[in-house]
Amino acid sequence: METAPDLQSISAEAALSPMLPRPFVIKRVRRETEDTFTLELEPTGRDDGFSFTPGQFNMVYVFGVGEIPISISGDPARPTTLIHTTRAVGTVTKAMDKLRRGDTLGIRGPYGSPWPLDKAVGRDVVFVAGGIGLAPLRPALYHVVSNRERFGKVVLLYGTRSPADILFREELETWRARFDLDVYVTVDRAMSGWRGNVGVVTTMIPKAPFDPRNAVAMVCGPEIMMRFTAAEMIKRGVDIRDVSVSLERNMKCGIGLCGHCQFGPVFVCKDGPVFPYAQVRDMLVKWEI
């Protein structure tokens, strides 16, 4: 008599719609680095594609294994294909790593807040990415590149641990070759053959070609990297209100009901993952919030 009667039968027929993943079939698997891969997905049984806004994420489900939040890394102007880039580090991502073309994943989403691209119109845009943090920024980059005339200078500062960890190499090369984009890549540790920058990504901020009084910064990477990047941006004269960061927390629902992603007063899933830096700065410097 632990639960009231007839509730059992209700649960059996009720598919909790907001928690129900929809099947998406893998059309292509692309290996990015040793432990990072990109999946291109299409919804099964429908051809309505997948619309989203840069910065948003999905809850991605591997049959019987589990479900985790992963940001969308594709082009928002090409919603026919859903693209996720992730590193195989946990149970679910390691299971994803074993999937091949024709296999199926479950998707719920898109969820969360977007990068403030509207606010960036007519101004310089500085993207700062650390490691896998380039993936959640890529949809915003695609948007800016496709609407290049609407923005001022566009700068990407990208740091990884080593040259082998650089994501989206071909695309970075293409973008770097353009005269209207400034792409700078740096690595923490170089190896022979590396002729680029060495050092953390923040060291590139003072000299990067943008006007701090008229720039917006979108930053994604490890929390410590985002803190130092934001501090460096502010030091250079960027208004703190023009700096955005994307946060990561444990999520079980993605829709503000499970409580896991709380960060002080905000739910990262529904209030974020993209936040104005000013909103989260004080919490980022305190222990274990």
Partner 1 sequence: MKTFTLERSDVGALLDALKRRGYTLLGPTVRDSAIVIDEISRVEDLPVNWTDVQSGASYRLKRREDNAFFGFAVGPTSWKRFLYPPIQHLFAMLRAGKSFALPAGTKESTPSRDPKMAFIGVRPCDVHALAIHDRVLLAGPFVDPLYQLRRNGCFVVAVNCTQAGGTCFCASMNTGPRATEGFDLALTELITHKRHYFLVETGSDRGEALLKSVPVSEAGADEMKEARAACEQAQRQMGRSLDTKQLREVLYQNAEHPRWDAIGARCLTCANCTMVCPTCFCATVEDVTDLGGSRADRIRKWDSCFTLDFSYIHGGSVRASAKARYRQWMTHKLASWVDQFGTSGCVGCGRCITWCPVGIDITEEARAIREGQPTEARTHA
Q: Which residues bind partner 1 (CB under 8 A)?
A: 1-7, 10-20, 23, 25, 44, 61, 63-67, 87, 89-90, 102-104, 106, 248-250, 252-253, 255-260, 262, 264-267, 270, 286-289
Are the beta carbons of 68 and 93 closer than 8 angstroms? yes
Are the beta carbons of 132 and 36 closer than 8 angstroms? yes
CB of 253 to partner 1, least distance (A): 7
CA distance 210 to 236: 10
Are the beta carbons of 200 and 186 closer than 8 angstroms? yes
The pair of three-digit structure tokens given for residue 250, joined into one six-digit string: 């444990």
What is the 8-class DSSP label of residue 114?
A: P
CB of 189 to partner 1, least distance (A): 19
CA distance 182 to 209: 8
CB of 267 to partner 1, least distance (A): 7
What is the 8-class DSSP label of residue 113?
A: B
Nearer to partner 1, 116 or 256 (CB): 256
Q: Which residues does 107 contact at the CB level (< 8 Å), separation at least 6?
A: 21, 22, 23, 24, 41, 43, 50, 58, 59, 60, 61, 82
Nearer to partner 1, 25 or 231 (CB): 25
Nearer to partner 1, 73 or 279 (CB): 279
Q: Which residues does 140 contact at the CB level (< 8 Å), separation at least 6?
A: 54, 55, 115, 117, 127, 218
The residue written with tokens 């997905």 in the block is 41
Nearer to partner 1, 16 or 191 (CB): 16
CB of 232 to partner 1, least distance (A): 23
The pair of three-digit structure tokens given for residue 280, joined into one six-digit string: 């989260």
CA distance 284 to 227: 8
CB of 220 to partner 1, least distance (A): 15
The pair of three-digit structure tokens given for residue 190, joined into one six-digit string: 């170089």
CB of 165 to partner 1, least distance (A): 15
Nearer to partner 1, 66 or 276 (CB): 66
Nearer to partner 1, 133 or 212 (CB): 133
Q: What are phi and psi of 198, to 5 degrees?
A: -125, 135
CB of 140 to partner 1, least distance (A): 22
CB of 235 to partner 1, least distance (A): 25
Nearer to partner 1, 121 or 224 (CB): 224
Query: Of all helices (H) and strands (E), which one includes residue 44?
Result: none
